[in-house]
A and B are shown apart, each in its own frame.
Chain A
Amino acid sequence: MSTWERIRPRGDMFMWGIIFILSIWGLLAIYSSTGALAYKKNGGNVEMYLMQQAALLCVGFFIMFVIHTIHYKYFIGLSKLLLWITYPLLIYTLIFGIEINGAKRWVNFFGITIQSSDIAKLAIIMFVTRELSRKQETIDDFKKTFLPILGHITLICLLIAPENLSTALVLFSTCFLILFIGRVKIKHLLLITGVVALAGGLFFTTLFLLPENALKGTGRLLTWKNRIESFGKKETDPDKTFQNDHAKIAIASGGLFGKWPGNSTERNFLPEAYSDFIYAIIAEEYGLVGALLMLILYLFFLYRAMRMVLKSPKAFGALIAVGLSFSLVLQALINMAVAVNVFPVTGLTLPLVSKGGTSILLTSVAFGIIMSVSRYVEQDEPETEAENNIQENTLTAGHE
């Protein structure tokens, strides 16, 4: 065996490939789009952001690699512990968090600033998949299975919501999707939908009926209202549609094959071109072809992750991989949806592609876990066993 054979990453090579391509692509896009930021803050030292992102990605890859060598079964126990850490962390953030751009979302962790919702996201998805795989036999039990899981999801989301509503909503939707995949009764799911619709409807009606003055000093309520208003209404004030207009200009001017890397002009106008709106820059520089390719890469990643359900000998592995993959891909799609103005501005980044600080590290943890599942599914899989020929009992092996 060559050295490479010994140390090379295991698991689905397609998925590794996609992770790698997206990271490099992101690096290029960031290098191109941080011009305005660099102009303002660093006197034109554009390389600084490139180096920052490259360094973070290196660390990220290291984390991914290390985690994917650990058998995912160890994460089962860890998921519950992580959840119990998450609660105090979220509460701490709400009270003592660091405020950036008008929202308290960050905490300082031994000198590293971390968005606590990133940890919460990881924790709750791991916990939900664990619970689902453990309780497949009693999955229809409303009290014993459904309520505890839903309770945790709701609690976590409610703790995130005050400072980061969009993340909370996306996380809730992702969990809902995982519940759906995890065979939760349709009736129960419909119940959730109904309650959420009712609560949401009530909440937003109140929000819109209250005068603006009453919303002063209530954290981000006013921001939410404005954002949703600006999305809902046909806005004509160019100041308010500034971001979206420029995102669309970027996409429209990209054409079929784009302007080629480094030639974006909208990067200079588009606020947050390197994070929230990086997809618009991708569309401008790489054209419709590039934009579609990126979308397909994410979908293909999800598809490959899904295939693990077929292979995975243990339900937890499959579910955690699919759950995390859905979470990441859903986040990617929502980011893209914001760029094309299907969704209002959420502040969600494009995983692996957007410039991000420490969130890259937690994304890497998620990818690492997915790849760990991929790796050990392949390893644990009996060589002779065909995909269609899975033992019936393997799926339920999750709860010993």
Chain B
Amino acid sequence: MATNIRKVILIRTYTAFAFVAVFAMVIVAYLFKIQYLEKKHWLALADHLSTSIQTVEPSRGNIFAADGSLLATSLPIYDLRLDGKAPAFQDEEIFSNQLDSLAYCLATEFEDRSKAEYKRILTNVKNRGDRYYLLKRKVNYTQMKRVKQFPIFREGKYKGGLNIEEKNRREKPFDYLAERTIGYSVKGIAPVGIEGAFDKELAGKPGKRVMQRIAGGTWIPVNDEEQQIEARNGLDVMSTIDVNLQDVAEQALLNTLIKNKAEWGTAILMEVKTGEIKAIANLTRVAEGQYTEKYNYAVGESLEPGSTFKITSMMALLEDGKAQMTDMYDTEGGKKKYFANATMYDAEEGGHGMVNFQQAFEISSNVAISKAVYAAYKNNPEKFYNHLKRLKLTEPIGIQLSGEGKPRIKHPKDKDWYGTTLPWSSIGYEVKVTPLQIVTLYNALANNGKMVKPIFVKQILKTGTPIKEFKTSVMVEQVCKPSTLKNLHAMMKGVVEHGTATNLKNPNYTVAGKTGTALVADGRYGYAKQIYRSSFVGFFPADQPKYTCMVMVNAPSNGIYYGSLVAGPVFKELADKVYATSTNLHKELKYVVTPETPQLPPAKIGFADDLKAILDKLSISSQMQADTEEESGSEWAVAELQANNVKLRTIKTSKQFIPDVKGMGLKDAIYLLENAGLKVQTEGYGKVKSQSINPGEPVTKGATINLKLG
């Protein structure tokens, strides 16, 4: 019996072992199957599943203004996508419990859809099992941070079903300031401005990274240096633009355009020595009284310049000895008939009588100048053309920006060279150049005859260190003889002194330049529609030029169209600003030292303690004094010069009566008046000259008082 038990146990043990062995054989068989029969399939899948090459986007470089302020930069922006198959979406408990609050959070965060709509979207995404549903585009960083903490999403990067894709958005901190010059670079659209021209530098180079999926579905970069190409971030570009001057240019141009109801305008400010463009504004009317940077006229628009072009005629005639400054010309009643249907008029009806060569330019006589050029070059027009060619007007300058306009100067052998071409070219018609070319030409004259190329970009920087500098390049070493230059300067100064632009004359700095009031050819109407293009180009200070500036305003329609009156003010405002901020342009102040009688500071009436502090600072002895009893103890005083000191006579102020603020600084005047409950409006600058409500009148609270300063 026992033997039997043993035997049975042994047999059964072996049977069990056999069973286990069979099980083991099955495993072995599967091992073989995977290793040999399915090997290819799994290895292929391995490549597909486990690694992926991801592009690492570089961040685009910044564009800086000359002072380092940001003109264009890239900010991260996020697209939010949903994965309907994420665990948190598939988990019925989490999803149904938190769906409501998630929809609510999204609706309040974005305010673009109702809570019910979001609820429907989320449910649909879940039910369809969308893996890549676009929930919201262009979400900013702080929003993205908040959304990550919303219900369901907060379950985590993988589990929560929220995929965040980072992108870059180009941001221009100064908004439309120099917008077209900063430009853009968008795939499929012609590149514009610095962004377009320096796209290669700014863009950087995308990197590649081999990513592997690890446990939990997260992707990690493979630690294999060879398989990794670092993204090279874009380089930074430092432009020549001066933000402050650009702002002034833009604002002044805007004011002028609005005032003159003009179609568009452009203003360019160029530094004489370096050719650096400090400001370049381009405004186009988009609606009544509304303008925006839409097109870079300064650079891209090739157009008939009109009278500003006359400088080339004067230069050619002087260079070739065809004219002397004192040569006299008959303006023929302001009307010169060249051909049967080609009559040239002067702007002034009836002409200017007899003018000399210099006057012809100063008063911008079309008749006189065209006559001189026609007489000199009608037999050899190519010579005139060659002058223009030497002045680099026949070809584009080749600037750093994209989209430079092509000039059109007719050659005598061209098919469209007519008999009118020479006389009309001489006064800036039948030729087309860009405003930038005109500026470049005048800048050459300002720069002692040396023509330098305008530059917009000074440096290319890599993490703050310049790696490439753009030096000023010379286009023409000497555009004309020094004697010619001297004469041209005299003529250009004359334009402002006693010519067409006397309104630009000012005591602070001298200006030399030329006005332009061109009739605009408008399609099939020709010049008949009487549309003007007013411009002024010049440099300042005239004796030692620092800046050249051109302003052009197209189609002013408010009755005024003379270059000096339309474009001049913009020029002046810009020049004023430059003058105000560049102390090196100021004339040295002459100090008159008179130790006996101290000069009083300009604010003669004001807050007594302030006056005293100023006088003390200037080491002028002073003493407080009151004329009457009731005036003593007042905080306000009048400074009165005495024999050897200053008497600060205190004056009474009251809130019931209008105080006398004449002679006060604006700070004190506003303090007093607003304390009395008045609204203050001012005009001009300096000390208070007059006040609209007389002193001593009772105060009406809330009334407006106008102060004239001066």
Q: A residues within 8 Å of B by Cβ?
A: 36-37, 39-40, 136, 177, 180-183, 212-213, 216-217, 238-239, 242, 245-246, 248-249, 251-256, 265-266, 268-273, 283, 288, 291-292, 295, 299, 302-303, 306, 309-310, 315, 318, 322, 326, 329-330, 333, 336-337, 340-342, 390, 392-393, 395-396
* 9 extra interface residue pairs, beta carbon distance < 8 Å, beyond A37-B215, A249-B45, A288-B31: A36-B215, A183-B8, A239-B85, A273-B215, A291-B31, A322-B13, A340-B34, A393-B2, A396-B5
Task: List 14 A-B pairs, Cβ < 8 Å.
Answer: A37-B215, A180-B16, A182-B12, A217-B93, A239-B85, A252-B34, A266-B46, A268-B213, A273-B215, A288-B35, A295-B27, A302-B17, A329-B20, A392-B6
Contacting pair B39 A269 (CB below 8 A):
no
Q: Given that A245-B49, A248-B34 are known contacts, is A270 also in contact with B28, CB under 8 Å in the complex?
A: no
Max chain B Cβ within 10 angstroms of own Cβ: one of A181, A292, A303: A181
Contact partner, A252, options B12, B17, B35, Cβ 8 Å: B35
Contacting pair B6 A181 (CB below 8 A):
no
- Which B residues are in CB contact (< 8 Å) with A342? 26-27, 30
Any A CB within 8 A of the CB of B189: no
Shortest CB distance A379–B (Å):
21
Any A CB within 8 A of the CB of B56: no
Q: How far is the CA of A181 from the CA of B5 in the complex (A)?
A: 11
Shortest CB distance B82–A (Å):
16
- Which B residues are in CB contact (< 8 Å) with A181? 9, 12-13, 16
Q: How far is the CA of A299 from the CA of B15 in the complex (A)?
A: 14
Interface residues of B in 294-353 (CB under 8 A from A): none
- Which A residues are in CB contact (< 8 Å) with B35? 251-252, 254-256, 288
Shortest CB distance A188–B (Å):
13
Whose C-beta in chain B lies nearest to the C-beta of A179? B12
- Which A residues are in CB contact (< 8 Å) with B19? 177
Say what secondary structure dominates the interface of chain A.
helix
Max chain A Cβ within 10 angstroms of own Cβ: one of B2, B28, B213: B2
Interface residues of B in 70-125 (CB under 8 A from A): 85, 92-93
Q: How far is the CA of A379 from the CA of B41 in the complex (A)?
A: 55
Contacting pair B20 A330 (CB below 8 A):
yes
Contacting pair A337 B216 (CB below 8 A):
no
Shortest CB distance A88–B (Å):
31
- Which A residues are in CB contact (< 8 Å) with B174? none
Chain B 664-703: CB-based contact to A (< 8 A → 1; otherwise 0): 0000000000000000000000000000000000000000
Q: B residues within 8 Å of A by Cβ?
A: 2-3, 5-6, 8-10, 12-17, 19-21, 23-24, 26-28, 30-32, 34-35, 38-39, 41-43, 45-46, 49-50, 85, 92-93, 212-218, 220
Contact partner, A249, options B2, B21, B49, B220, Cβ 8 Å: B49
Contacting pair A246 B49 (CB below 8 A):
yes
Contacting pair A306 B17 (CB below 8 A):
yes
Shortest CB distance A143–B (Å):
21
Shortest CB distance B34–A (Å):
5
Contacting pair A40 B34 (CB below 8 A):
no
Contact partner, A340, options B12, B15, B30, B50, Cβ 8 Å: B30
Contacting pair B92 A295 (CB below 8 A):
no
Contacting pair B34 A251 (CB below 8 A):
yes
Contact partner, B92, options A216, A254, A255, Cβ 8 Å: A216
Q: Given that A333-B23, A340-B34 are known contacts, is A253 also in contact with B43, CB under 8 Å in the complex?
A: yes
Contact partner, A36, options B5, B8, B31, B214, Cβ 8 Å: B214
- Which B residues are in CB contact (< 8 Å) with A136? 5
- Which B residues are in CB contact (< 8 Å) with A271? 215-216
Shortest CB distance B706–A (Å):
72
Q: Given that A40-B216, A249-B42, A269-B212 are known contacts, is A183 also in contact with B9, CB under 8 Å in the complex?
A: yes
Contacting pair A326 B20 (CB below 8 A):
yes
Whose C-beta in chain B lies nearest to the C-beta of A393? B2
Contacting pair B93 A216 (CB below 8 A):
yes
Shortest CB distance A353–B (Å):
15
Contacting pair B46 A340 (CB below 8 A):
no
Shortest CB distance B128–A (Å):
14
- Which A residues are in CB contact (< 8 Å) with B28? 292, 295
Contacting pair B34 A326 (CB below 8 A):
no
- Which A residues are in CB contact (< 8 Å) with B27? 295, 333, 336-337, 340, 342
Q: How far is the CA of A390 from the CA of B5 in the complex (A)?
A: 13
Q: How far is the CA of A248 from the CA of B38 in the complex (A)?
A: 9
Whose C-beta in chain A lies nearest to the C-beta of B41? A252
- Which A residues are in CB contact (< 8 Å) with B34? 248, 251-252, 340
Q: How far is the CA of A86 from the CA of B537 in the complex (A)?
A: 102
Contacting pair B2 A395 (CB below 8 A):
yes
Q: How far is the CA of A136 from the CA of B213 in the complex (A)?
A: 57
Whose C-beta in chain B lies nearest to the C-beta of A216? B92
Q: How far is the CA of A181 from the CA of B9 in the complex (A)?
A: 6
Q: How far is the CA of A268 from the CA of B216 in the complex (A)?
A: 10
Q: How far is the CA of A318 from the CA of B5 in the complex (A)?
A: 13
- Which A residues are in CB contact (< 8 Å) with B8? 183
Shortest CB distance B2–A (Å):
4
Whose C-beta in chain A lies nearest to the C-beta of B15? A180
Whose C-beta in chain B lies nearest to the C-beta of A390? B6
Q: Given that A252-B35, A342-B27 are known contacts, is A39 also in contact with B220, CB under 8 Å in the complex?
A: yes
Max chain B Cβ within 10 angstroms of own Cβ: one of A239, A251, A252, A395: A252
Q: How far is the CA of A341 from the CA of B27 in the complex (A)?
A: 9
Q: Given that A249-B46, A303-B17, A340-B27 are known contacts, is A183 also in contact with B10, CB under 8 Å in the complex?
A: no
Whose C-beta in chain B lies nearest to the C-beta of A392? B2
Contacting pair B16 A392 (CB below 8 A):
no
- Which B residues are in CB contact (< 8 Å) with A340? 27, 30-31, 34
- Which B residues are in CB contact (< 8 Å) with A256? 35
Contacting pair B9 A249 (CB below 8 A):
no
Whose C-beta in chain B lies nearest to the C-beta of A329? B20
Q: How far is the CA of A282 from the CA of B92 in the complex (A)?
A: 38
- Which A residues are in CB contact (< 8 Å) with B42? 245, 248-249, 251-253
Q: How far is the CA of A217 from the CA of B6 in the complex (A)?
A: 50
Shortest CB distance A339–B (Å):
8
Q: How far is the CA of A39 from the CA of B213 in the complex (A)?
A: 12
Contacting pair B21 A299 (CB below 8 A):
yes
Contacting pair A251 B31 (CB below 8 A):
yes
Contacting pair B45 A396 (CB below 8 A):
no
